[in-house]
Amino acid sequence: MATEQEPPPSGRVSRRKLLGLGAAGAAVLGAGAVAARPLMNEPPPGAVAPANEPPGVGAAASAANEPQGAHAAPYPFYGEHQAGIVTPAQDRLHFVAFDVTTGERAELVELLQEWTAAAARLTQGREAGSFGAVGGAPEAAPDDTGEALGLPASGLTLTVGFGTSLFDGRFGLSGKRPAAMSDLPKFPGEQLIPEISGGDLCVQACAHDPQVAVHAIRNLARIGFGKVSVRWSQLGFGRTSSTSRAQATPRNLMGFKDGTNNLKLEDADLLREQLWAGAGDGSPWMTGGSYLVTRKIRMTIETWDRTSLAEQEQIFGRDKGVGAPLGRKAEFDPLDFAAKGPDGEPYIRADAHVRLAHPTSHGNAHLLRRGYNFVDGSDGLGRLDAGLFFIAYQRDPRRQFVPVQMSLARKDPLNEYIKHVSSGLFACPPGVRDAGDYWGRTLFEG
Ligand SMILES: C=CC1=C(C)c2cc3[nH]c(cc4nc(cc5[nH]c(cc1n2)c(C)c5CCC(=O)O)C(CCC(=O)O)=C4C)c(C)c3C=C
Ligand SMILES: [Fe+2]
């Protein structure tokens, strides 16, 4: 498993070299060479942020003043936990689920090793393979597809997950399926489409540049040719959650601030308690990992857009402008479910979304949400095919996602405007420690 960049043959230029040349150097390359985009704010050589800690989080960053250059910089790939979970949610998503087509466990392990090596490079703004898009033999297919040449790392994170079907016995893993990964129940009203649900493996690519996220997934799929095939994939934009207090809260396609009351990077104690699988949880190989639930949720936006502002706010229990809980003034004011308005009714209705989903309604069950908006064109009937690609990480879906979603599915008036059409449940293993480690080692060698 090679992770070091081998020098490209003379006359050929690697993506990193192109970046290093910058604007002036690119001019020297002359016609025929690929022009490098000047890299803004590249961290100094050798600068290593603490594992998975975002550039720009800390004293220098504030919600109102996120450093622009930080959007180009890389996140560390190696660490105790995978990046892309508490990492401040980037602007863009390409999520893919794969079916494993090989029946050989050894081939699957080999693929995970190759993917890990490629991910270690891609997340640092390098090409997928050691020769790159234009550095290999002219007779051979390039080991990088090339569309990210000259682009910086753009905060790319790649997060892998193992689906429930991977534990079905094909690879000798049936005894390793975590109890926390019991099949999700059928929720009232869901209309799941099997072809865009499930999958043996998943990779979540998040970046500030969609081209960088798509490039990463495309290259992993290329590497996996003959061993895996793409089952479904989803593009997302405009993150619908903040996962750090240094980020401003974004808006979903219903126009509301989304991610206000979320688990955040800074909540160290809660993350330990609610996000990361522990050594005593029954599946030692998952220690330091987390369970991922995805739900593609279509919105009937046109109906929503004809709903009164007052009704929209009652449905969520927050105001649409600043995102404050109804009856309060500021976004981060605490929710007060007992407070009553002049009419004697609670400001936040009994069936308001935030009340049904609140941790206190479910024995202190928190979720780390990091979903994205999607618009997949239109449906041929004059309506946008749009909604929320919901992503939530947690320590145990049986105690967290399932009860929250069951209560929403039964009582949330938002259901009039939404439909769950896809579902996924994945075990995301702990982080890759160093260049000798690989995604899933604790599962296959533990
Ligand atoms: C099962 C979990 C959840 C699903 C599915 C879900 C769908 C969904 N949510 C919104 C918009 C908002 N959600 C908000 C808060 C919120 N939502 C969940 C869980 C699910 N949402 C939780 C746990 C919370 C936090 C509750 C709390 O503790 O206050 C909000 C308010 C802002 C915020 O705090 O994030 C909005 C807005 C949509 C549009 C949607 C499906 C399409
Ligand atoms: Fe929600």
What digits encode the pLDDT tens for the residues 119-135?
Answer: 999 999 999 999 999 99
Closest CA to 317 of 372, 354, 288: 354
Q: What is the ipTM of this complex?
A: 0.99
> Rounded to whole angstroms, how far apart are CA atoms 247 and 54?
11
Q: Is the CB of 295 under 6 A from ligand 1?
A: yes
Q: From atom 19 of ligand 1, which residue's Cα is the shortest distance away?
A: 357
- 270 Cα: distance to centroid of ligand 2 (angstroms): 19
Q: Report whether 323 contacts 257 (CB < 8 A).
A: yes
Q: Is the CB of 259 under 6 A from ligand 1?
A: yes
- Ligand 1 atom 28: residue of nearest CA: 358
Residue 335 Cα: closest atom of ligand 1: 29
Do 300 and 306 touch, CB atoms closer than 8 A?
A: no
Residue 37 has a pLDDT of 22
Q: Where do we find the tokens 């002219």?
A: 138
Answer yes or no: is the C-beta of 405 below 6 A from any ligand 1 atom.
yes
Dist CA 52 CA 75 (whole Å): 6
Ligand 1 pocket test: pick from 354, 405, 406 the residue with the most ligand atoms within 8 Å of its Cβ.
354
- What is the predicted pLDDT for the residue at 446? 82
Per the DSSP assignment, residues forming a β-bridge with 232 are 97
Residue 427: half-sphere exposure toward Cβ, Cα within 13 Å = 28
Give yes or no for a contact between 133 and 151, defined as CB atoms under 8 angstroms apart.
no
Ligand nearest to the CA of 408: 1
Give the three-state DSSP class for 389.
Answer: strand
Residues of the chain with pLDDT under 70: 1-68
C-alpha 26/C-alpha 11 separation (Å) is 14
CB 160 within 8 A of CB 201: yes
List Cβ<8 Å contacts ≥24 apart for 167-174.
170/100, 170/103, 171/100, 171/105, 171/108, 172/105, 173/443
User: Does ligand 1 have an atom closer than 6 angstroms to the CB of 356?
Assistant: no
Nearest CA to ligand 1 atom 22: 357
What pLDDT, on the 0 to 100 scale, is given for residue 151?
A: 97
Q: What is the Cα–Cα distance from 367 to 264, expressed in whole angstroms?
A: 10
Q: Do the Cβ atoms of 338 and 355 come closer than 8 Å?
A: no
Tell me the ligand closest to 392's alpha carbon.
1
Helix (H, G, I), strand (E, B) or coil at 24: helix
Contact between 121 and 437 (Cβ < 8 Å): no
